[in-house]
Every structure is written in structure tokens, then in C-alpha cells.
């Protein structure tokens, strides 16, 4: 049973999240699933104790990871993703998703696709802003976060806050898909660099 | 996850090496590992690396009411967290002993030494004071958590700036970061912990033990001192018996180490201040960016969203229009309203199959009971009353009838004929049962 810790620190502008992955490792009998791996996500905020907002983000990240991780290859084990917020300047959930994906890849957990997180903000005159800062998020009319997979840019998870029309939703989604190309290219280049030198 | 136990050979190897004055990483007995301090973009955020042990510290402040017995003093709050990424054994629920010990030591070192002037944190005596909160997160555990944590705490406190407040008579004005420059905390001195590990009942001593050495040590002595050679806290744990001159020798060593570390801290703080003043880029992204091969950065990339609108319109036109689920709320009585119509109740089938002898059980079937022609009147009664007696056989049973038309199912894309079919089945079943009875 391998216990591997890998760390990754993606930084979106000034937002940075440190991610570590343990697993596949031993799982408590109460939590074990007989035919696949149990995925646990732990998100720690920088200030204060973890609260409800962290729990809901953990759930979103866990659902996204469960959709891509090939848990059936490691039944009755646990894969733990630990995330620590190092600094928060907007687009936190997207940064957490990117960190989690990179950490899972680095740890060698088998996945069917990579995923990335992209945040969109719609401000009061309908302008679309990708990867908003904290100030832009506060003043926006709606903030939408999407998790997209790398194979066909399909939508894995979406969470939104605010008021928007369905045309705007489709526009944001299309913009996020375009943005995800850049993120996946970044993944590829950084992984190439890492594995060619070390 | 359970902690992997240390093997006997490893333990023997470490102890033998220490007897020969050798350390695994090649350090001398009194050598510290490399200390690296980096700051984040916010004030009060810093990361300290002591070799591979890494601690992240963040200071935040809030205006609160003071404690009743200390009306003119601000409140200090320290919290050290052992994140699970530090070691697999640090599960969120399971670390009490070590955590309590570390937290307590940290509090004694920083709070009881009065290194921060709490009187200066008072805004309005008895009403509003500043509560300063220091959160430390252990990111990687490679021994000597307490030293790294104490350095992180004091560096974060020195780096932190609180918003400026002015009091004019009864009026208190809190300035935002844009209006007035934030103000640093008033810190008298910088206490720093130095740890000494003892082996073989106090015969051998090592400064700054790493994780392996901590596992085989007999006892630990922690001395918190400031650069003026004043001892702030001293703690000996592990049950070793130390001689007076051993303790004195340790305190001398601590004095030398603390002076070095304090100088390093001052340099780091001055550096950061210079960079911020010059308007250069600062933050973690800068400090890690170009140092390692495994770090990769990409500049901000503008994304071409010109074809986004067309793409979106395409998708919308190709997508099916959403089903017209127009559910208007229907008000039955004041206080009772209904939105939409419930789906067919499938509990009826269950009860049918379980209670075959009781014909009376059928009354529990709510929505479909209307069409039964065995003489029951699941009469909806007046439109106003949601509570209705469904049938004569079991008059005590009160059933809430949500609507008059049980046939309709919520997803209205199903055609009406299809809708009728599923409801017929349970009706038939019931008929059969009645016949049997």
C-alpha cells in the first residue's frame, strides 16, 4: 500500500492553494466501499476553523474528483486530498480544483481525464470577466465556477451564485471552455518540465 | 492513517551515530537547519521553513468587546493547526496530545511574556478593543515544530498592520486600507523558542532535532528567549533528569542561536518592506517562482472570446427548449399552498404487497384512490380543505389530499395516455385484493 504525498501550489494571480494527496492507503472499516476507493477532501481556510463554506466546497471538489478518478482500480482504499488556502484573492474554488488535479496527477492516482476549474463573473452591464479578483467578484452580479474535463471539455461540475439568464450561462460556459484550453496547456507544459528534469 | 513505527535497526543506528557525534544530515551538535522566511501579499502572512518543516502563519484582527476583568486590554488568540498534509498521522480528529502541548507552549511563550503591548490595542475602554488572532498551519513535519511555529508567529505579528482608528470624543472612526495606511502592532521584544533533544538519559544533546531524532530522543528541553537574553519560557518534558550546569549550558547556547535568528528575521522584514515600498511584486508566487525546476509560471493570457457569443447562440438554438414546468402556486386556505402536483405515490404498492389480508390498507394509497370503483369515495371534499377522510371503512384515518387530479405527473412531457397507464395498475391490484377478500 503506497502512501505518497505530493504537493502542488498553483497560483491564480494572488490566490494560492497548497494541495497534498495521500493514497491509495488504508481506510477505516466504517468508510470503506467494497468496489472502489473512498475519496476524502479536506479544505482548510487560512483564518479560523473550517466552517460550512469549506464543507460545501469540499463536497464540490470531491464530486468532481470522484467523476474522474478510477476508483474501481483500488477498492477498499482511501485517497485523501488535503487543501490549504495560502492566500485568497478571488477565484478560490477554481484554484482549489486546479491544485487538486495537479496533486492527483503527481501522486500517480489513475484518472480518466484531467480537470480544471474556471471562474466567470458577470457584472451589472453583462460584461463577462474570466478569473475575477476578489473585488470583481464582490461587485459582480453573478459568479459562476465550472469544472471542465480535458478530453472533450465537458462540464463536470458547476456552481453559481447570483442572477443570470440562460443565454449568459451558455456564454460563460463557452468562454470557460476556451479558457480551459490555456489551463490544460499549462498543466501539460509544467508536467513535461517536471518529468524531464527529475 | 496510522503512524508507521520506527524500526529497531533505525533506532539503533541513530543512537549509535549520536554517540559518535554524527547526525544523519551532517550537521554539528549545535547547528540549526536552514531557516527561510517568505511573506505573502497580505500583511501578516508569512511562511517559515526550518529545513523541511514548514509553517504558514497568518494574523488577522477584529474589533470586539473586551473581557470583563480586563477592560482596557486587547485580546490575543493563538491557534496552531497540524494539517493532515504535514504527516499522514495527523488526522483531523485525532491529534489532541501533541496539539495541546504545542499550543500551550506557544501561548506561554507569546502571551505570558507580554511581547505584544495589549494596552495599545484598546480603542474605547470597556467597549471596543482589537482582537488579534494568530493562525499557524503546519504544512510539513520534519521535526522541531515548536521552533518553526514560534518563529512564524513572531514574524507574522511583526509583519502585520492593523487598520488605523481615531477616537474624537465619542466618535470612533475606523479607516479602511485605502483611506489611511495601516499601523503596525506595538511589539516589545521577540521571544523565540529553541529546542534541545536529550539522548541516553541526558548524556548527549542535540539542538534542533529533526523528525527521526525526535522519535528516538529521551526528553526535550524548550527555552524561549529574546535577544536581550531574557528567558520567557522554559519547559522540560520527557521525564529526563538534567543537571543544573546542563540547563545553564543550554540557555547559553539558546542565547547565541536566538541572536542569530533575530537578525535573520529583521533582515527578512526589512527586505520585504523595501520591496513593497518600491512597488515591486511580492508574495508567495514571486518567492517560489524561479527557484525550482518544478515550478512553472505562465503570464496572464488574454482569451479570445469573440466567438463565444456565436457558440452560445448555437448551443441554445440546438438545445431543446426546457419543458414548460410552469407551476403557479395554488392557495388552498390561508397558510396552505401548493406548488406543482406531486408524483404518483409508489408507497401504495409496498403496502399492498405487505398487508395482503387487510383490505383496509388500501386507504393509505393517497393519490390513486380516487379512481377506485369499489365504493370508496376518496372525496376531495371542498377545494379549500386539504384534509379529507378518504373512505368509509376506516374513518379514523385522515389523509392529506394535495390535489384533485392524481393522474398528472410532474414531468409534463409525458403524454396524457401514458399518464393514465401507470395509475391503472395499482388500481387493478387493489381490485383484485378486494375480490380476494
CATH of the domain at A128: 3.30.230.70
Residue B383: per-residue pLDDT: 41
Sign of CA dihedral A192, A193, A194, A198: positive
Q: Is the CB of residue B399 less than 8 Å from the CB of residue B388?
A: yes
Tell me the C-alpha to C-alpha distance, in Å, between residue A71 and each of A37, A66, A74, A100, B97. 5, 8, 6, 16, 34
Report the percentage of chain A scoring pLDDT > 70: 93
* Number of independent structural domains in chain B: 1
Checking DSSP bridges between strand A78-87 and strand A38-44, what pairing results, if any? Answer: parallel
Is residue B418 situated within a structural domain? no
Mean pLDDT of B79-88: 89
Q: How confident is the model at residue B410 (pLDDT cuts 50, 70, 90)?
A: very low
More confident residue, B88 or A39: A39
Please indicate if any CB of chain A lies within 8 Å of the CB of B98.
no
pLDDT tens digits, B17-29: 999 999 988 999 9
pLDDT per residue as tens digits for the range B199-238: 988 889 999 999 999 999 999 999 999 999 999 999 999 8
Residue B98: partners with Cβ closer than 8 Å, 6 or more residues away: B82
> Who has greater pLDDT, B336 or A11?
B336
Q: Do A87 and B135 touch (CB under 8 A)?
A: no
Does residue B371 lie in a domain region? Answer: no
**CB of B132 within 8 Å of any CB in chain A?**
no
Residues 6 or more apart from B111 whose CB is under 8 A from it? B76, B78
Look at residue B314 and tell me if it is in a domain. Answer: no
Tally Cβ neighbours within 10 Å of residue B186: 11
- β strands within B141-242, DSSP E: 161-162, 165-168, 171-174, 183-184, 192-199, 204-207, 219-225, 231-237
Strand pairing of A115-122 and A142-149?
antiparallel
Name the residue with higher pLDDT: B318 or B279.
Answer: B279
Q: Measured between alpha carbons, how far is residue B34 from residues A120, A197, B260, B261, B372 in Å?
A: 42, 25, 12, 10, 84
Q: Which of B88, B134, B298, B313 to mutate to test the interface with A (most CBs of A within 10 A)?
A: B88
Spatial separation of the C-alpha atoms in residues B413 and B392, rounded to whole Å: 36
Question: What is the percentage of chain B residues whose pLDDT exceeds 70?
Answer: 68
The C-alpha cell 504558514 sits at B56
Nearest CA in chain B to A192: B294
Q: What are phi and psi of B24, to 5 degrees?
A: -60, -35
Helices A92-107 + A52-68 axis angle, to 10? 40
pLDDT of residue B317: 58
**Residue B212 belongs to some domain of the structure:** yes
Residues of A with Cβ-Cβ distance to B132 under 8 angstroms: none
Is residue B365 assigned to a domain?
A: no
Measured torsion, CA atoms of residues B219, B225, B229, B232, in degrees rounded to the nearest 10: -100
Q: Which residue has the cell 469540499?
A: A58
Main-chain phi, psi angles of A168, to 5 degrees: -65, -35
- Helices marked H in chain A — which ranges? 52-68, 92-107, 134-139, 166-197
The pLDDT value recorded for residue A114 is 94
Asked if A84 and B139 come within 8 Å (Cβ–Cβ), the reply is: yes
Percent of chain B surpassing pLDDT 90: 42
Domain containing residue A91: 3-196
Contact A167 B313 (CB under 8 A): yes
- The whole-angstrom distance between B183's CA and the closest CA on chain A is 20
Q: Is the Cβ pair B58, A84 closer than 8 Å? A: no
Q: What confidence tens digit (pLDDT) does each residue in B331-353 have? A: 778 888 877 777 777 776 555 54
Host domain of residue B209: 32-284
Contacts of residue B196, Cβ cutoff 8 Å, sequence gap at least 6: B205, B206, B207, B220, B221, B222, B223, B250, B253, B254
Q: What is the pLDDT of residues B231-243, one digit of tens each?
A: 999 999 988 888 9
- Domains in chain A, number: 1
pLDDT of residue B423: 42
Cβ-Cβ contacts under 8 Å for B263 (sequence gap 6 or more): none
Containing B42, the helix (H) or strand (E) segment is none
Chain B segment 225-284 residues within 8 A of A by beta carbon are 283-284
Distance from CA of B303 to the nearest CA of A (A): 6
Residue B278 lies in a domain: yes
Length of chain A: 198
Retrieve residue B69's grid coordinates.
476583568
CA atoms of B56 and A87, how far apart (whole Å): 10
Q: Do A18 and B41 lie within an 8 Å CB cutoff? A: no
Contacts of B285 in chain A (CB under 8 A): 11, 14, 16
| Residues pairing with B236 in the sheet | B221
- Burial code (b: 16+ CB inside 10 Å, e: under 16) for A15-37 equals bbbbbbbbbbbebeeeeeeeebb
Q: Which B-chain residues 324-363 have CB contacts (< 8 A) with chain A?
A: none
C-alpha angle A138-A140-A142 in degrees, rounded to nearest 5: 115
Three-class SS state of B221: strand
CA–CA dist A117, A96 (Å, integer): 8
User: What pLDDT score does B291 carry?
Assistant: 44
d(CA A63, CA A41): 10
Chain A residues with CB under 8 Å of a chain B CB are 3, 5, 7, 9, 11, 13-14, 16, 18-20, 22, 25-26, 42, 44, 46-49, 80, 82, 84, 86-87, 89, 128, 130, 166-167, 170-171, 173-175, 178-179, 182, 186, 189-190, 193-194, 197-198
8-state DSSP, B363: G
Comparing CB atoms, the residue among A26, A128, A193 nearest residue B296 is A193
3-state helix, strand, coil in chain A (%, to 5): 40, 30, 30
Chain segment B38-74, per-residue pLDDT in tens: 998 888 999 999 999 999 999 999 999 999 998 899 9
The CATH number linked to B100 is: 3.30.230.70
Among A87-96, A97-106, B143-152, B393-402, the range scoring the smallest mean pLDDT is B393-402
Q: Are the beta carbons of A14 and B298 separated by less than 8 Å?
A: no
Nearest to B311 among A11, A80, A174 (CB): A174
Minimum distance, in Å, between the CA of residue A191 and any CA atom of chain B = 8
Q: How far is CA B335 from CA B329, B330, B386, in A?
A: 12, 11, 11
ipTM score of the complex?
0.88
Contact between B316 and A166 using a beta-carbon 8 Å cutoff = yes
Chain A closest-CA separation from residue B329 CA (Å)? 22
Query: How near does any CA of chain B get to the CA of A194, in Å?
Result: 5
Amino acid at each position: 500500500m503506497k502512501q505518497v504525498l505530493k504537493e502542488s501550489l498553483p497560483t491564480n494571480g494572488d490566490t494560492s492553494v497548497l494541495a497534498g494527496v495521500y493514497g491509495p492507503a488504508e481506510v477505516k472499516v466504517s468508510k470503506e466501499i467494497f468496489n472502489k476507493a473512498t475519496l476524502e477532501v479536506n479544505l482548510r481556510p487560512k483564518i479560523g476553523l473550517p466552517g460550512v463554506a469549506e464543507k460545501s466546497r469540499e463536497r464540490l471538489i470531491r464530486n468532481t474528483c470522484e467523476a474522474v478518478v478510477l476508483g474501481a482500480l483500488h477498492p477498499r482504499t482511501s485517497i485523501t486530498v488535503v487543501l490549504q488556502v495560502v492566500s485568497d484573492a478571488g477565484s478560490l474554488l477554481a484554484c482549489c480544483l486546479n491544485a487538486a488535479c495537479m496533486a492527483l496527477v503527481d501522486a500517480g492516482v489513475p484518472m480518466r481525464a484531467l480537470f480544471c476549474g474556471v471562474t466567470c463573473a458577470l457584472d451589472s452591464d453583462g460584461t463577462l470577466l474570466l478569473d475575477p479578483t476578489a473585488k470583481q467578484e464582490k461587485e459582480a452580479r453573478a459568479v459562476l465556477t465550472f469544472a471542465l474535463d480535458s478530453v472533450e471539455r465537458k462540464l463536470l461540475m458547476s456552481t453559481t451564485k447570483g442572477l443570470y439568464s440562460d443565454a449568459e450561462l451558455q456564454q460563460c460556459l463557452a468562454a470557460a471552455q476556451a479558457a480551459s484550453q490555456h489551463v490544460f496547456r499549462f498543466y501539460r507544459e509544467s508536467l513535461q518540465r517536471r518529468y524531464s528534469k527529475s | 492513517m496510522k503512524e508507521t513505527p520506527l524500526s529497531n535497526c533505525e533506532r539503533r543506528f541513530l543512537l549509535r551515530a549520536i554517540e559518535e557525534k554524527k547526525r544523519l544530515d551532517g550537521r554539528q551538535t549545535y547547528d540549526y537547519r536552514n531557516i527561510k522566511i517568505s511573506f505573502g501579499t497580505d500583511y501578516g502572512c508569512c511562511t517559515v521553513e526550518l529545513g523541511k518543516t514548514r509553517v504558514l502563519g497568518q494574523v488577522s484582527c477584529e474589533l470586539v468587546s473586551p473581557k470583563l476583568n480586563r477592560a482596557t486590554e486587547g485580546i490575543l488568540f493563538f491557534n496552531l493547526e497540524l494539517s493532515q498534509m504535514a504527516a499522514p498521522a495527523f488526522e483531523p480528529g485525532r491529534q489532541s496530545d501533541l496539539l495541546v502541548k504545542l499550543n500551550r507552549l506557544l501561548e506561554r511563550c507569546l502571551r505570558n511574556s507580554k511581547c505584544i503591548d495589549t494596552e495599545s490595542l484598546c480603542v474605547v475602554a470597556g467597549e471596543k478593543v482589537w482582537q488579534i488572532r494568530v493562525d499557524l498551519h503546519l504544512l510539513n513535519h520534519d521535526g522541531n515544530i515548536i521552533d518553526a511555529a514560534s518563529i512564524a508567529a513572531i514574524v507574522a505579528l511583526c509583519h502585520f498592520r492593523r487598520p488605523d482608528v481615531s477616537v474624537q470624543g465619542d466618535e470612533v472612526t475606523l479607516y479602511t486600507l485605502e483611506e489611511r495606511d495601516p499601523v503596525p502592532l506595538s511589539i516589545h521584544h521577540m521571544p523565540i523558542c529553541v529546542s534541545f533533544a536529550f539522548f541516553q538519559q541526558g548524556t548527549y544533546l542535540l539542538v534542533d532535532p529533526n523528525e527521526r531524532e525526535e522519535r528516538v530522543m529521551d526528553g526535550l528541553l524548550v527555552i524561549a528567549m529574546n535577544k536581550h537574553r531574557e528567558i520567557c519560557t522554559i519547559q522540560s518534558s520527557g521525564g529526563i533528569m538534567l543537571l543544573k550546569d546542563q540547563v545553564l549550558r543550554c540557555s547559553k547556547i539558546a542565547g547565541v542561536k536566538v541572536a542569530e535568528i533575530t537578525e535573520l528575521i529583521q533582515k527578512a522584514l526589512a527586505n520585504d518592506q523595501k520591496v513593497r515600498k518600491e512597488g515591486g511584486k511580492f508574495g508567495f508566487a514571486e518567492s517560489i517562482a524561479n527557484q525550482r525546476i518544478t515550478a512553472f509560471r505562465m503570464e496572464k493570457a488574454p482569451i479570445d472570446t469573440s466567438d463565444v457569443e456565436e457558440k452560445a447562440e448555437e448551443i441554445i438554438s440546438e438545445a431543446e427548449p426546457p419543458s414548460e414546468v410552469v407551476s403557479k402556486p395554488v392557495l388552498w386556505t390561508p397558510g396552505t399552498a401548493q406548488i406543482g402536483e406531486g408524483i404518483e405515490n409508489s408507497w401504495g404498492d409496498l403496502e399492498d404487497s405487505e398487508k395482503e389480508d387487510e383490505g383496509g390498507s388500501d386507504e393509505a394509497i393517497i393519490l390513486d384512490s380516487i379512481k377506485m370503483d369499489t365504493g370508496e369515495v376518496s372525496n376531495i371534499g371542498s377545494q379549500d380543505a386539504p384534509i379529507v377522510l378518504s373512505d368509509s371503512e376506516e374513518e379514523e384515518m385522515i389523509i392529506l389530499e394535495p390535489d384533485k387530479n392524481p393522474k398528472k405527473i410532474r414531468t409534463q412531457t409525458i403524454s396524457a395516455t401514458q399518464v393514465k397507464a401507470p395509475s391503472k395498475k395499482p388500481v387493478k391490484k387493489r381490485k383484485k385484493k378486494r375480490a380476494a377478500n
